Amino acid sequence: MREDIFHPGGPLAREVARFGGFLHVVSAAVFGLVMIALVLALVRRAPVSERGMRRGVALATSLTVATLFVFLVYDLSVGRTTGRAPSRGRQLTVIGHQYWWEVHYNDSFPSRQVITANEIVVPVGEPVRLELQSHDVIHSFWVPSLRGKKDLVPGHTATTWFQADTPGIYRGQCAEFCGHQHAKMALFVTAVSPDSFVSWYKGQQAVPPAPSDSLRAEGLKVFLTTTCATCHNIAGTPASGTAGPDLSHVGSRMYLAAGTLKNTPGNMAGWIMDPGAYKVGSKMPSHYGTLTDRQVRAIAAYLEGLR
Amino acid sequence: MSAALAPIPLETETITRERDALQRTWASEPGLLGWLREVNHVSIGKRYVITAFVFLLLGGLEAGVMRLQLSRPENRILNPDSYNQFFTVHGSTMMFLFAVPVMLGMGIWLVPMMIGTRNVSFPRLNAFGYYTYLFGGIVLYGAFLFNTGPDAGWFAYPPLSTAFTPGKRTDFWAQMITFTEIAALAASITLIATIFKQRAPGMTLNRIPLFVWSILVISFMVLFAMPTVAVASIFLALDRLISTHFFNAAEGGDPLLWQHMFWFFGHPEVYIIFIPGLGFVSHIVATFTRRPVFGYPMMVLSLVATAFMGFALWVHHMFATPLPQLGQSFFTAASTVIAIPTGVQIFCWIATIAAGRPRYATPFLFVLGFFIVFTIGGLTGVMVASVPFDLQVHDTYFVVAHFHYVLIGGALFPLLGAIYYWFPKFSGRLMSETLGKWHFWLLLIGVNVTFFPMHLLGYMGMPRRVYTYLPETGWGPLNSLASAGAGIIVVAMLIFAWNVFSSWRNGDVAGPNPWGADTLEWATESPPAPYNFAHIPVVQSPAPLWEASGTMPVVTGMRTDVREVLISSVMDAHPCGKHEHPGPSIWPFLTSVCVALYFVPVIFTPWGAVLGTVAVLAGAAGWGLPHATSSKPLPAPGSMYKDEPLTPEAAR
Amino acid sequence: MTPVMDTELVPPPQRLVSAFDASGIEEKYFGTDSVSWWGTVGFMVIEGFTLILCMGAYFYLRKNELGWPPERTPLPDLVVPTISLATLLLKLVPISMAARKARRWDGDGVRRWLAITLAWNLVNLGMRIAEFGALRVRWDTNAYGSIVWATLFDHAYLILFDLFETAGIALVFFRHQETHRDFGAVDDDAMYTWFLVLAFIPVYVMLYWFPRWT
């Protein structure tokens, strides 16, 4: 898993990492020169003359201006390359919620559209264009190894893009303070080969399989007859809530609750029973007293089967 | 009209008589009531500085608790609700209750002494400002104590700070802002008038001490920056309390409007905090290299240029928002160019050191620390001026590292140096050099151990304002290191506190000018008499105390039976009038209470505004009407000096 | 150039010599040599800037809407605000007369014109209250309503403070022995009144005419 602006996985982050390297070298040089000047000023044998001072300050100031000019030119050129959005590429809409990410793979046919949460799967070598919106407060989309930040501001639609060149999992986290669980609002971009992407995408478009055993069947029944369905959507069932993440293929995800827990049946059951124990302030209510242990295990088993 | 006389020596007996009279006129009153009625700038300035250091301690403790929480992954010392209050209160404290007040407080305390006058121009407004600031702090900490501390960040971005944080937490924050802004505005108006109109004769524009220049510059910045945040925070409070829609996107409002207003204040705020720091550095460098700072005109122009440019940078806090790209290039360029005046000043100081004879006393060590820490902060500042680089590090621990380097390096190091430097004037006693050196080295190490790793954490993807992080992020070791560094800072600051405490009681007696410095405040006793100077000095050079050859030219003919100050012209400080200052009064305190009666009740009901308006008007009436002042009606012009003023002739 | 100080610490100068005799200088009550003038100017800068900020916010919010005022919000009335502006402009006459008398140390003249100013201030305040109705929108209707109320309220506070200041000065002149400084206060009050009246002109144009042009 990668999460470092100096371990880029795509062209945008690579350009900035190269520029960052340049900034490090220049900054270190400037810092070194200032410190050398300071030490020399402290230990020189005889006090410097008025003319010496004037020359020194003039030289240092011109060097500063020259360095800043080079910086500015390089910066604007990096800004031009990274700022230009591609005209082709898959179009995604990302909607920020307190404290998770809703992701839509847009398609001109509504039935082909894929809705998922917190994890974005993309093909390598292809630009991905994003439309960013917020459902509540300001969030910020950031995947360090792929691209810099873009804020999700209510009332505004921001556009941005990224591209992954190396297959792998890239982690990111909400970068604008958004409330209690700003710390647990992670995002994963999984870059895969174009072929794997196509098969993943087909899988996501398909209606999830029906429960394969009695426990799972019970899970579905509980899901539909208790409060779960008011907030969550599962394709092919009457559950069509939109307040929480779409669970149609939740079993195929790596993590639960925006990177908070590994996606295992035990964690899933624990999460359903008491989200607050893992993520205080999560909008999902606790189910102590409303669901029995067995019901929770059944729902977890059912959800794990949704791949 | 007045006439410049040939220098006539003053008799010791005359001086003593005048001192006694001045002491009677300017003395502080005893008791609690006397304390509340106090209007002397030395007392008010001291209160500002001491109160601000109390808030530094509180803000520092909050930071310490946060560092404990972050020292390892998934720690449970603070829950997210408390953590959010802690970091909000920490930021708000450091910006609004420590950094700005401490700098303005140093200005209120030092400026009249440095420019050779007896008090600030508006002594009562000045006292009012202090109480208002104090009440702002009490409101914030009172709320925090009752678990109603603000939790939407010191930047309070809506809609998180409006519709998504019900309860009263953010309301207390918004009111605290208004309190402290009123205080800062009162201090700024007072300081501007004082510096423009009360300089000692002969202190022309190019002889004003650099610290006084820095205070003049930031006072003007305050006049434009503080109303902005006050208006913004009032809009925010209105959105919360009476359902206006300034920041509500659903009804035509815009969350980004807040960000523009907040950063139009917030960026200049940084310069308001560290420009006085640059002023401190100039004086310490001059004194401890024993020569005037090289390039005085460039130093002054740099300060003024920084102030202007400081207002053209705010958008670089908003590079990640949906803004047109063309506009961003302008702000990158401006953010880059502002490095030049700061660089010029650093070069001038280094040149001064090279041409002088450095003495490694504690204040000078803190200036050397300033060079190291502030240069790093300045360089990362240029880095974040770049849009593409900023988008990667914005709102991460890299930025946390950057601005702590800037503010600790640019403001705290010079301020601590200034405390060591002016403490003898403050208290009459020198601070311990041994403890001072321990303090300095531990702080320098602690700051770097704490904040340097944060640059790397930012690169590794750690966002700001997170109450915890998961083990698999790999952020644990560097966070532990940073927390250990915070421990070193705590030790360093405890040494400082002990040094202040013990030196105040048992330090070596300093005398008027223990460092052999050049500016006028060192011509008075330590601590200064309530009237500062028995005779207002006449200034004949930029470094008056280094030029004087055993004699001190002064003004005579000022009244000693009323609080009279000399008024001089703005440019060349030619005496052109006098002004009788009001004496002690309880009304600044009472009016400040009335302001509190406005801002606190409105948190709970809009009718508070009505109550508050009445209260404030009542306070103003008590303040302004004649029965409340102690000064008697002035006699008609011409008959003004019935009791013979002391002229040199009379003195003989 | 300035000399480099030597290694010796400089002893504080002991002998004071008189270089300037200030006994002939008197307090100035008008203009830039009176510190209260600087205080008044300081407050004018702050209050003027808050009005500019409100106006900035107004135009910033304008760009979020297609029409202005936004849909289903009526245009503000023009008659009442115009009368209000006219009454504000008229206030300049008595206060300027009072200031002129003050500069001549004419206490009776000041009393006469201050009384008229004070009475007229009440008219201004009444007109301002009527103006809120003339906005024809509530503060909580939409962002447009919020900003027009805020701007007008900001300026109303200036009127209120001016009224209060004038009342205070008038009280001194009618009930107490006025001092020279009180004559200076009349002059400063006049300057402040000029500021608040002139500051209203751009606000008036923005609130009542700008929506008609767009």
Of C5, C149, C168, the CB nearest to B621: C168
Distance from CA of A58 to the nearest CA of C (A): 19
Q: Are A133 and A119 contacting, i.e. CB atoms less than 8 angstroms apart?
A: no
Chain B residues within an 8 Å CB radius of C65: 252
pLDDT at B647: 42
Q: How many CB atoms lie within 10 A of CB A95?
A: 19
Which of A34, A57, A180 is opposite residue B80, by nearest beta carbon? Answer: A180
- Has residue B27 got a pLDDT over 70? yes
Closest residue in chain B to residue A30, using alpha carbons only: B379
Alpha-carbon span B562 to B581, nearest angstrom: 8
Smallest Cβ–Cβ distance between C23 and the set B8, B535, B641 belongs to B641
Low-confidence ranges of chain C (pLDDT < 70): 1-14
Q: What is the 3-state secondary structure (H, E, C) of chain A?
A: CECCCCCCCCHHHHHHHHHHHHHHHHHHHHHHHHHHHHHHHHHCCCCCCHHHHHHHHHHHHHHHHHHHHHHHHHHHHHHHHHHCCCCCCEEEEEEEECCEEEEEECCCCHHHCEEEECEEEEECCCCEEEEEEECCCCEEEEECCCEEEEEECCCCCEEEEECCCCCEEEEEECCCCCCCCHHHCEEEEEEECHHHHHHHHHHHHCCCCCCCCHHHHHHHHHHHHCCHHHHCECCCCCCECCCCCCCCCHHHCCEECCCCEECCHHHHHHHHHCHHHHCCCCCCCCCECCECHHHHHHHHHHHHCCC
Q: At what angle do helices B362-385 and B413-427 cross, to 10 degrees?
A: 150
The subunits that touch chain C, with at least 3 C-beta pairs less than 8 Å apart, are: A, B
Mean pLDDT of A279-285: 92
User: Residue B637: is its pLDDT beyond 80?
Assistant: no
What does the radius of gyration of chain B's CA atoms come to, in whole angstroms?
A: 25
Which of C25, C60, C159, C165 would you mutate first to test chain B, the one with the most B CBs within 10 A?
C25
Q: Do C4 and A155 touch (CB under 8 A)?
A: no
**What pLDDT score does B511 carry?**
87
Q: Which residue is closest to C65 within chain A, CA to CA?
A: A155
- Residue C14: per-residue pLDDT: 61
By C-alpha distance, the chain A residue nearest C64 is A155
The per-residue pLDDT for B326 is 66
Kindly tell me if the per-residue pLDDT of B493 is higher than 60. Answer: yes
Residue of B nearest to C60 (CA): B257
Distance from CA of A69 to the nearest CA of C (A): 33
Give the nearest chain C residue to A156 (CA atoms): C64
Which residues 93-132 of C have a C-beta within 8 angstroms of A?
Answer: none
Chain A CB within 8 Å of residue C179 CB: no
Minimum-distance CB partner of B245 among C24, C53, C146: C146
Q: Please tell me which residue, B554 or B11, carries the higher pLDDT value.
A: B554
Mean of pLDDT values over B416-444: 96
The answer to whether the Cβ–Cβ distance between B466 and A182 falls below 8 Å is yes
Mean pLDDT for A174-190 is 96
Query: In DSSP terms, which residues pair with A262 in a beta bridge?
Result: A255
What CATH number has the domain spanning A214-304?
Answer: 2.60.40.420
- Distance from the Cα of C63 to chain A's closest Cα (Å) equals 13
Quick one: pLDDT band at residue A112, thresholds 50, 70, 90? confident
pLDDT tens per residue across span B233-280: 999 999 999 999 999 999 999 999 999 999 999 999 999 999 999 999
CA distance linking residue B450 with residue B71, whole number of Å? 11
For A269, the token pair is 């059951």
B34 vs B27: CA distance, rounded Å = 10
Q: List, in sequence order, every residue forming a beta bridge with C180; answer none if it has no partner.
A: none
- Predicted confidence at residue B634, as pLDDT, reads 45
Give the 3-state secondary structure of residue B457: helix
Ranges in chain A annotated CATH 2.60.40.420: 1-206, 214-304
- For position B166, what pLDDT does the model report? 87
CB contact under 8 A, C143 and B566: no
CA dihedral A116, A119, A120, A125 (to 10 degrees): -160
Mean pLDDT for the stretch of residues A79-85: 84
CA distance linking residue A170 with residue B650, whole number of Å: 87
Predicted pLDDT of residue A118: 96
Q: Is C4 on the interface with A (CB under 8 A)?
A: yes
At residue B382, what are phi and psi to the nearest 5 degrees?
-65, -35
* pLDDT, tens only, B586-624: 999 999 999 999 889 999 988 888 898 889 888 888 887
Instruction: Name residue, tokens 């940078």.
Output: B313
> CB–CB of B164 and A137 under 8 A?
yes
- Chain A neighbours, 3+ Cβ pairs < 8 A: B, C
Which chain A residues are within 8 Å of C2, Cβ to Cβ?
none
Q: Is A6 on the interface with B (CB under 8 A)?
A: yes
Whole-angstrom distance, CA of residue B178 vs CA of residue B231: 9
pLDDT tens-place string over residues A203-232 = 999 999 889 899 999 999 999 999 999 999
Q: pLDDT digits over B531-542, tens only? A: 999 899 999 888
* DSSP three-state, residue B399: helix
Cβ-defined contacts of B11-17 (< 8 Å, 24+): B11/B651, B11/B652, B14/B646, B14/B651, B15/B534, B15/B535, B15/C16
0.80 exceeded by pTM? yes
Mean pLDDT, range B138-164, rounded to an integer: 94
The Cα of C7 is separated from the nearest Cα of chain A by a number of Å equal to 13
**By CA distance, what is A155's nearest residue in C?**
C64
Tell me how far apart the alpha carbons of residues A84 and B336 are, in angstroms, rounded to a whole number.
23
What is the nearest CA distance from C89 to chain B, expressed in angstroms? 25
Q: What is the pLDDT of residues B178-190, one digit of tens each?
A: 999 999 999 999 9
Architecture of domain A1-206: Sandwich (2.60)
What is the chain B residue with the closest CA to C62?
B252
CB B110 within 8 A of CB B532: no
| Cα A137 to Cα A155: distance, rounded to the nearest angstrom | 10
Q: Indicate the pairing of strand A128-134 with strand A158-162.
A: antiparallel
- Give the position of tokens 């006028």: B520
Above 80 in pLDDT, residue B174?
yes
Cross-strand bridge partners of residue C18: B8, B554
Interchain contact, C20 vs B538, CB within 8 Å: yes
Angle between helix B339-355 and helix B325-337 axes, rounded to 10 deg: 10
CB contact (8 A) between residue B246 and residue C143:
yes
Is residue B499 pLDDT above 60, yes or no? yes
Does the distance separating the beta carbons of B557 and C24 come in below 8 Å? yes
Pairing label, strands A147-152, B551-556:
unpaired
- pLDDT tier at A307 (50, 70, 90 boundaries)? confident
ipTM of the shown complex: 0.96
Tokens coding B342 = 């700061």
Cα(B512)–Cα(A284) distance, integer angstroms: 68
Sort out which chain A residues have CB atoms less than 8 A from C4's CB and list them. Answer: 47
The answer to whether A178 contacts chain B (CB < 8 Å) is: yes
Inter-chain contact A50–C1, Cβ cutoff 8 Å?
Answer: yes
Touching subunits of B (3+ CB pairs, under 8 Å) are A, C
CB contact under 8 A, B375 and A1: no
Q: Is the pLDDT of residue B644 over 50?
A: no
Digit-coded pLDDT (tens) for C25-81: 888 899 899 999 999 999 999 999 999 999 999 999 998 888 899 988 999 999 999
pLDDT-based confidence at A177, cuts 50/70/90?
very high
Q: Which amino acid is at B91?
A: G
Sign of CA dihedral B195, B197, B202, B206: positive
| Closest by CA position to A175, among listed B151, B152, B72, B458 | B458
Q: Which of B189, B261, B352, B519 to mutate to test the interface with C (most CBs of C within 10 A)?
A: B189
Check A76 against B332: CB less than 8 A apart.
yes
Contacts of C1 in chain A (CB under 8 A): 50
Residue of B579, B627, B632 to mutate, interface with C, max C Cβ within 10 Å: B579
Mean pLDDT of A168-184: 96
In degrees, rounded to 5, the angle at the alpha carbon of residue C110 between the alpha carbons of residues C108 and C115 is 100
Cα(B467)–Cα(B644) distance, rounded to whole angstroms? 70
Structure letter (DSSP) for residue B252: T
The yes-or-no verdict on residue B524 having pLDDT over 60 is: yes
Radius of gyration of chain A (CA): 26
Q: Dihedral of CA B256/B257/B263/B269: which sign?
A: negative
Start-to-end CA distance of chain C, whole Å, equals: 63
Q: How many Å from the N-terminal Cα to the C-terminal Cα in chain B?
A: 21
Given strand A186-192, what is the order of strands in its sheet? A119-123, A186-192, A168-173
